[in-house]
């Protein structure tokens, strides 16, 4: 079945709402407007205002309300319009949702799913183009997902809602219009990375909105006789280091592609894991392709120059290989 990433997200939420009366959706413009990214169109009419709740412009308030609802036995899906707005709710996410199981000695859990759009590439300038996945992947007590394919957009929400602890799902805004076939086996776990393309010469390790770029880079490299393996991390916390290690023991070289800034990036954590577990399997230093260390510009040509792009990934892979 052919569909867009947006429709896959919508189908996943619709299935959850229809199957379990404890599930409800809340966030800015999710009701009458149908969602900022049109992922909840028609939900208000079908499920009613008790289960599709438009919220005020107060992330701290409605994320906190979602945490309270989860503690009370419901299964909330809380949509934050973009990742930069989630900064207003960091106290609720970090100090409350992520910590309550520990702080209560295991007496309480917070089965909350927090969805948010992330990433740049749409000329929304410095305040609306963040890739802060690494901030959340740093926090014990939450699981962090980054569905990069139509199958994962469809399949990850169900297991996330079944998780007794908070799950943060990052949906790269550039992917919503992505169109393709929904795999027959779209149901998936929320624990493992995925090998999206087999290869033997270099591992391209990435996630989210950078996956299509890594796959395009692998195509270009293949035309030059270089077989790149593409690893989609999918789960950013906890990282599936076993899949990374298996790939590195085959290719012996790696490039990590991360739309976050290089300093303190998720790419740095991935590189550290590789060095800790696979140092003697490496034939060259691990390289990384990240966004430039600047606020993301508004001008299209400057925005493109600031972000990881296919030529940068191809050049990094060739450098690692020595070509």
Q: Active-site residue numbers?
A: 59, 128
C-alpha 309/C-alpha 98 separation (Å) is 34
C-alpha 155/C-alpha 147 separation (Å) is 9
Q: Residue 6 in contact with residue 39, Cβ under 8 Å? A: yes
Residue 195 half-sphere exposure toward CB, CA atoms < 13 A = 18
Q: Residue 220 in contact with residue 264, Cβ under 8 Å? A: no
C-alpha 54/C-alpha 31 separation (Å) is 5
Q: Among 145, 165, 166, which residue's Cα sits nearest to residue 156?
A: 145
How is the beta sheet containing 143-145 ordered, strand by strand? Answer: 52-54, 23-27, 75-82, 113-118, 167-172, 143-145, 235-237
Q: Among 256, 290, 172, 68, which residue's Cα sits nearest to residue 78?
A: 68
Residue 220 half-sphere exposure toward CB, CA atoms < 13 A = 17
Report the SS3 class of residue 290.
strand
Identify the residue whose tokens are 């390289």. Answer: 287
Tokens of residue 14, six digits: 């619709």
Report the SS3 class of residue 32.
coil
115: Cα separation from own chain's centroid: 9
Q: Among 124, 17, 22, 136, which residue's Cα sits nearest to residue 69?
A: 22
């Amino acid at each position: 079945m052919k569909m867009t990433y947006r429709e896959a997200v919508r189908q996943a939420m619709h299935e959850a709402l229809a199957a379990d009366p404890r599930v409800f959706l809340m966030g800015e413009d999710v009701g009458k407007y149908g969602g900022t990214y049109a992922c909840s169109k028609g939900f208000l009419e079908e499920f009613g205002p008790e289960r599709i709740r438009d919220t005020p412009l107060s992330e701290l308030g409605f994320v906190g309300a979602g945490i309270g609802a989860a503690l009370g036995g419901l299964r909330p899906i809380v949509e934050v319009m973009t990742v930069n707005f989630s900064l207003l709710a960091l106290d609720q996410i970090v100090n409350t949702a992520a910590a309550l199981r520990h702080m209560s000695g295991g007496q309480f859990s917070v089965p909350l799913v927090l969805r948010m759009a992330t990433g740049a590439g749409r000329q929304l300038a410095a305040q609306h183009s963040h890739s802060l996945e690494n901030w959340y992947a740093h926090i014990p007590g939450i699981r962090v997902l980054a569905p990069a394919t139509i199958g994962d957009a469809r399949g990850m929400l169900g297991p996330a809602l079944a998780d007794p602890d908070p799950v943060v799902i990052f949906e790269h805004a550039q992917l919503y219009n992505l169109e393709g076939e929904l795999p027959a086996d779209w149901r998936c776990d929320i624990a493992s990375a995925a090998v999206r393309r087999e290869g033997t010469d270099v591992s391209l390790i990435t996630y989210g909105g950078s996956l299509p770029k890594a796959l395009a880079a692998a195509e270009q490299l293949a035309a030059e006789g270089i077989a790149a393996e593409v690893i989609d991390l999918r789960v950013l916390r906890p990282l599936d280091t076993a899949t990374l290690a298996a790939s590195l023991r085959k290719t012996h070289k790696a490039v990590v592609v991360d739309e976050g800034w290089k300093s303190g990036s998720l790419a740095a954590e991935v590189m550290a894991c590789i060095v800790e577990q696979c140092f003697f399997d490496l034939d060259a230093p691990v390289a990384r392709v990240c966004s430039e260390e600047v606020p993301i510009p508004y001008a299209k040509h400057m925005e493109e120059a600031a972000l990881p792009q296919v030529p940068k990934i191809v050049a990094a892979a060739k450098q690692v290989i020595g070509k």
